[in-house]
């Protein structure tokens, strides 16, 4: 399943809520926890840069599990706040869309 | 900064791929394929990096650098075209920047060397009922003192007025004296005096005897042989003794021929000119005011404060309303000059801008033929997904780099160029520093950017037109693109022809104006007449009667001198108008216009013989009629005066009254003797009694060598009165000296015309040669099908000449539309002069035909077989 437009940022923020991760780790985590979402690894890095520039993330060099130098990303205070706001919005939207779809189904019956 | 982020990204992506590969191996994948799988799941690595990079705020710097490197490669590849382009643009920009430097120095910057930023000039304007004695932008001495004493926003305020005086000595002659308030040099700040000191404040309050004077460097060098012991010496100005207290460095205060040679306290006005007793008269607005503002006060604040002071001053002078203008001292801020500034800029800078445009169009055609060669490369780039805007920027960068290089070279040239330009125009070294300032730098930058865009835009846009499939297929002579391209080229040729026509018309008009100026007949003899100006008499000296008697008898006795005449005013030296009150005893209404009133000139009876002025009726006065204490003073009037007051009648024997009643005894031809090339209008001559009037002018009719006669007259003057300052020149040389001032304009116009013609011709030649080279296969086919060589020549000529004709028509239209600008500088030559337009058009047409002829012959000489195979 392809990622919905505009949701990658939210997923990245959500993934980082349990602590710093490097880029590859973020991609793997999203894929694993969602079970069937395909993340285009190539689009991850522009998104990470954007979020960092917006001040939602900060990053520093660290060592990965494989003992490799990697860039670790971490939520900032603003990032946490943004995640709450975005999650709230998303849930309201999902509920709203769900109600519309539900209604349509009932009318069909 | 940018590079670090870029490296970080590379590293991050590499580490990501390694992790993925390790994961894949852990999942049991073959190590060899694990990396490929990792790459596959990442997607397009380059594109991802590129996308990430594009988000960087400094991304444009990176691409700009790319563009510049790309442009540099292209420029290096087409070395000779690039050199041509840079050379063309350098000449164009350097000319522009140099002329702008001159205008900047002359018009936009104040005429002071040191600390120009605090310099101010105060220009009062008066309105209301109050009667002024002078109103040429000056202020009265009491007003000056008020401003000087009360203005808080000013550090200092000085006043000055120029006055022509006689400097007596071994080589008596007139110099311009600066009557100055004694703080003048504190305001002007020309640096320390070369010798001695400047004036002290008390020298402007007390009447000192003898008075003091400061010499200027040029006068000190030329008249006093740079004598270091000059301080303390007595010099005579208008025969009044002055002690030299110092020598000031050259101020180059105003136009070079207007520089003051000597400075004296302004309180000396009445001493130098006993007839001018207006020193402290509140009605006499005679002083120019310059000052220095305090650095923490703006021009605006100075103006506000002085305006309040001016209102207080007006309260004491009922009926006067003063409005003050405080400027930075530059000419362009002076209201009188500002009105003329657009014409000055249009005639000088306008020409160089036209030339630069011409150069731009030439460069455009060169770039256009180059971009045709690059059609395929650009098509490949476009089809690989390069953004059009990005490509446009890339293509524009090329022309910008070229114009940038040209601008740098031009700016280097502009360090010396303006001074050289000044020298070539004026034949004297520039009296001031002409090195470029920030305005010149800014102008150079603006010109460079505009040039780059103008020259590069149309080739760049043109190369981006989508003819992908055609170009990719590799037919370099794709028919469709070829047509649009050749249309653009035709427009460019037309533009070039139109622009160069404008420049050439201007050059032609200047030349014609100059010819007309020199060949003009003012109605009287000028070549064989010496005009003797007694400068001392003009500046107020009253010579004894014996001086005139001796002068007349000795000059008349000179070999080759036929006649002499004294005159109250010599030709082209001024006008004295008088109000006619009665005609034949009947009062007539006043004209209320100084310029419409008849002009009077008092002359000896020989005046008419000396100048060869034809008499149409009656006679001239006799020697017996010279004495002015007669009841009825006879008058010779001009035809214009006869027409004004006695239309259709014989005026001889009639009377008119000015203050005394005059009887008309003769009528003479109308002349142009007040101003060169301008009709005198109503004019009358009265007999002059040299023993009573002490005239300042004498005219001498010479047969044969005028130089020798002039030298002899000078010698006689020196013998009679060594202190008498006088000039002796032929009337014709006065015309010539004024004509000299036009020579720079004519010379400059001619150079510009030649440059314009050259640029237009190379442009036409380039375009036609290129289009011939594009059409080689077509010409081959035509010839294979039986076209003769003459047919090919006429084909090329026909297609080549069409845009030239179009350009000529457009250019003539433009020239007519712009003619109003030229009107004021042409001495009566119409800016729509048809002959000039026709000659210039023909010249351009013939020259353009020549430029087309060469490639046309080449096309005709092609071997049909080779041209068919040509691609």
pLDDT digits (tens, 9 = 90+) for B477-509: 444 445 666 778 888 889 989 999 988 998 888
Q: Which residues pair with B164 in a beta bridge?
A: B176
B58 interaction partners in chain A (CB closer than 8 Å): none
Closest residue of chain A to B42, computed from CA coordinates:
A41
pLDDT one-digit tens code per residue, A22-67: 888 888 888 888 777 777 777 788 888 888 888 888 888 888 777 7
pLDDT of residue B484: 64
Structure tokens given for B198: 């400047």
3-state helix, strand, coil in chain A (%, to 5): 60, 15, 20
**Are B45 and A23 a contacting pair at CB < 8 A?**
no
**Span B83-108, mean pLDDT?**
88
**Span A69-82, mean pLDDT?**
88
pLDDT of residue B468: 52
pLDDT of residue B697: 94
Residue B229's contacts (CB-CB under 8 Å, 6 or more residues apart) are none
pLDDT greater than 80 at residue B425 = no
Quick one: what percent of chain B has pLDDT higher than 70? Answer: 92
Instruction: Please indicate if any CB of chain B lies within 8 Å of the CB of A46.
Output: yes
**Could you tell me which residue, B558 or B331, shows the higher pLDDT?**
B558
Most confident of A61-65, B47-51, B710-714: B710-714
**Span A71-96, mean pLDDT?**
89
Instruction: Please indicate if any CB of chain B lies within 8 Å of the CB of A32.
Output: no
pLDDT of residue B240: 87
CA pair distance B519, B526, nearest whole angstrom: 12
**Are A71 and B15 a contacting pair at CB < 8 A?**
yes
**Span B377-391, mean pLDDT?**
77
Closest residue of chain B to A49, computed from CA coordinates:
B52
pLDDT of residue B656: 92
Under DSSP, is residue B156 helix (H, G, I), strand (E, B) or coil? strand
pLDDT greater than 80 at residue B469 = no
- Name the pTM for this structure: 0.73
pLDDT greater than 50 at residue B255 = no
Quick one: what percent of chain A has pLDDT higher than 90? Answer: 0
pLDDT of residue B253: 47
pLDDT of residue B49: 73
**Are A42 and B45 a contacting pair at CB < 8 A?**
yes
pLDDT one-digit tens code per residue, B583-596: 998 898 877 677 78
**Could you tell me which residue, B577 or B524, shows the higher pLDDT?**
B524
CA pair distance B410, B412, nearest whole angstrom: 5
pLDDT greater than 80 at residue A6 = no
Determine contact, residues B120/B291, Cβ cutoff 8 Å. Answer: yes
In B, what residues contact A, Cβ < 8 A? 8-9, 11-13, 15-16, 18-20, 22-23, 41-45, 47-49, 51-52, 54-56
pLDDT greater than 80 at residue B613 = yes
In this prediction the ipTM stands at: 0.77
pLDDT one-digit tens code per residue, B182-237: 999 988 888 889 999 999 888 887 666 678 999 988 889 888 888 999 999 999 88
- Give the confidence band of B263 by pLDDT, cuts at 50, 70, 90: very high
pLDDT greater than 90 at residue B373 = no
pLDDT of residue B637: 94
> Mean pLDDT across chain B, nearest whole number?
84
Phi-psi region of B71 (alpha: psi -120 to 50; beta: other; left: phi over 0): alpha
CA–centroid distance for B488 within its chain: 35
A43 interaction partners in chain B (CB closer than 8 Å): 43, 48, 51
pLDDT greater than 90 at residue B165 = no
Shortest distance between the Cα of B388 and any Cα of chain A, in A, equals 23
- Give the confidence band of B806 by pLDDT, cuts at 50, 70, 90: very high
CA pair distance B9, B62, nearest whole angstrom: 15
**Are A41 and B41 a contacting pair at CB < 8 A?**
yes
pLDDT of residue B231: 92
CA pair distance B754, A38, nearest whole angstrom: 72
Q: Which residues pair with B139 in a beta bridge?
A: B287
pLDDT one-digit tens code per residue, B686-695: 998 877 788 9
Under DSSP, is residue A57 helix (H, G, I), strand (E, B) or coil? strand
Residue B208's contacts (CB-CB under 8 Å, 6 or more residues apart) are B265
B12 interaction partners in chain A (CB closer than 8 Å): 23, 45, 70-71
pLDDT of residue B136: 64
- Give the confidence band of B857 by pLDDT, cuts at 50, 70, 90: confident
Helices B45-54 and B59-77: crossing angle in degrees, nearest 10, is 110
CA distances from B128 to B290, B318, B320, B322, B449 (A): 25, 9, 5, 9, 50
Quick one: what percent of chain A has pLDDT higher than 70? Answer: 91
- Give the confidence band of B254 by pLDDT, cuts at 50, 70, 90: very low
pLDDT one-digit tens code per residue, B330-348: 877 877 778 778 888 888 8
**Are B52 and A25 a contacting pair at CB < 8 A?**
no
């Amino acid at each position: 399943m392809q990622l919905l437009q505009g949701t990658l940022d939210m997923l990245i923020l959500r993934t980082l809520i349990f602590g710093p991760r490097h880029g590859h780790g973020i991609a793997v985590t999203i894929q694993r926890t969602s079970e069937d979402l395909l993340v285009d690894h190539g689009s991850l890095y522009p998104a990470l840069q954007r979020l960092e520039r917006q001040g939602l993330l900060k990053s520093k060099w660290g060592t990965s599990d494989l003992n490799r130098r990697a860039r670790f990303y971490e939520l900032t205070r603003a990032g946490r706040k943004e995640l709450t706001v975005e999650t709230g919005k998303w849930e309201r939207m999902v509920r709203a869309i769900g109600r519309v779809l539900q209604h349509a189904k009932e009318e069909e019956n | 900064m940018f590079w670090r982020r870029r490296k970080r990204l590379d590293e991050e992506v590499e580490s990501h791929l390694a992790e993925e590969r390790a994961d894949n191996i852990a999942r049991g994948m073959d190590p060899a394929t694990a990396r490929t799988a990792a790459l596959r799941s990442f997607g397009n690595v380059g594109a991802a990096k590129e996308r990430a990079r594009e988000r960087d705020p400094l991304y444009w710097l990176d691409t700009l650098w790319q563009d510049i490197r790309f442009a540099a490669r292209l420029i290096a590849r087409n070395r000779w075209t690039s050199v041509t382009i840079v050379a063309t643009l350098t000449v164009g920009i350097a000319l522009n920047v140099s002329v702008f430097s001159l205008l900047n120095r002359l018009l936009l910057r104040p005429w002071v060397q040191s600390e120009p930023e605090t310099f101010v000039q105060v220009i009062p304007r008066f309105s209301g009922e109050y009667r002024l004695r002078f109103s040429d932008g000056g202020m009265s001495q009491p007003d000056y003192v008020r401003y000087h004493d009360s203005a808080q926003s000013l550090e200092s305020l000085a006043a000055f007025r120029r006055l022509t005086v006689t400097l007596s000595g071994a080589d008596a002659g007139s110099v311009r004296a600066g009557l100055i308030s004694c703080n003048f040099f504190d305001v002007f700040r020309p640096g320390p005096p070369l010798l001695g000191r400047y004036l002290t404040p008390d020298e402007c309050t007390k009447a000192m005897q003898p008075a003091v004077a400061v010499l200027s460097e040029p006068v000190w060098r030329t008249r006093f042989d740079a004598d270091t012991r000059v301080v303390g010496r007595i010099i005579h100005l208008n025969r009044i003794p002055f002690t030299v207290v110092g020598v000031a460095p050259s101020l180059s205060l105003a136009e070079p021929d207007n520089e003051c040679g000597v400075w004296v306290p302004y309180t000396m006005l009445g001493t130098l000119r006993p007839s001018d007793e207006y020193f402290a008269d509140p009605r006499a607005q005679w002083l120019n005011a310059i000052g220095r503002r305090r650095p923490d006060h703006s021009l605006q604040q100075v103006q506000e404060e002085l305006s309040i002071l001016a209102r207080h001053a007006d309260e004491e002078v009922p009926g006067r309303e003063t409005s003050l203008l405080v400027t930075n001292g530059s000419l362009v801020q002076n209201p009188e000059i500002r009105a003329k500034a657009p014409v000055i800029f249009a005639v000088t800078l306008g020409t160089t801008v036209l030339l630069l445009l011409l150069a731009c169009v030439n460069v455009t055609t060169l770039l256009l033929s180059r971009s045709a060669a690059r059609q395929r490369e650009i098509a490949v780039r476009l089809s690989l997904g390069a953004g059009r805007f990005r490509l446009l920027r890339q293509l524009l960068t090329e022309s910008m780099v070229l114009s940038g290089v040209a601008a740098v070279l031009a700016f280097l040239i502009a360090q010396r160029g303006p001074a050289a330009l000044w020298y070539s125009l004026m034949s004297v070294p520039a009296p001031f520093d002409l090195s470029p300032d920030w305005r010149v730098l800014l102008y150079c930058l603006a010109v460079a950017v505009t040039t780059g865009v103008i020259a590069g835009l149309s080739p760049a846009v043109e190369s981006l037109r989508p003819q992908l499939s055609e170009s990719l297929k590799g037919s370099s002579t794709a028919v469709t693109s070829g047509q649009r391209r050749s249309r653009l080229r035709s427009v460019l040729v037309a533009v070039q022809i139109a622009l160069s026509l404008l420049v050439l018309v201007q050059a032609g008009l200047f030349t014609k104006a100059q010819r007309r100026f020199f060949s003009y007949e003012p109605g009287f003899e000028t070549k064989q007449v010496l005009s003797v100006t007694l400068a001392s008499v003009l500046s107020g000296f009253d010579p004894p009667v014996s001086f005139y008697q001796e002068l007349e008898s000795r000059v008349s006795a000179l070999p080759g001198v036929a006649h002499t005449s004294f005159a109250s005013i010599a030709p082209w030296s001024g006008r004295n108008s008088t109000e006619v009150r009665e005609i034949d005893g009947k009062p007539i209404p006043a004209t209320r216009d100084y310029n419409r009133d008849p002009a009077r000139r008092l002359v000896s009876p020989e005046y008419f013989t000396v100048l060869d002025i034809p008499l149409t009726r009656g006679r001239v006065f006799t020697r017996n009629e010279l004495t002015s204490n007669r009841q009825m003073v006879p008058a010779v009037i001009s035809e214009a005066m006869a027409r004004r007051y006695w239309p259709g009648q014989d005026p001889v024997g009639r009377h008119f009254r000015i203050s005394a009643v005059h009887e008309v005894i003769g009528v003479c031809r109308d002349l142009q003797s007040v101003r060169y090339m301008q009709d005198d209008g109503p004019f009358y001559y009265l007999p002059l009694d040299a023993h009573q009037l002490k005239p300042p002018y004498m005219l001498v009719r010479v047969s044969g060598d005028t130089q020798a006669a002039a030298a002899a007259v000078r010698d006689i003057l020196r013998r009679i009165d060594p202190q008498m300052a006088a000039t002796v020149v032929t009337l014709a040389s006065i015309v010539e000296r004024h004509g000299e001032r036009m020579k720079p304009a004519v010379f400059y116009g001619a150079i510009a015309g030649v440059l314009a013609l050259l640029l237009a011709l190379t442009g036409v030649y380039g375009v036609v040669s290129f289009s011939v080279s594009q059409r080689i296969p077509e010409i081959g086919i035509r010839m294979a099908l039986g076209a003769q060589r003459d047919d090919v020549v006429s084909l090329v000529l026909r297609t080549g000449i069409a845009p030239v004709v179009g350009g000529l028509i457009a250019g003539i239209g433009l020239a007519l539309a712009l003619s109003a600008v030229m009107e004021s500088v042409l001495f009566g030559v119409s800016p729509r002069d048809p002959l000039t337009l026709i000659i210039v058009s023909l010249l351009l047409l013939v020259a353009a035909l020549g430029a087309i002829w060469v490639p046309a012959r080449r096309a005709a000489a092609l071997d049909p077989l080779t041209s068919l195979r040509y691609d």
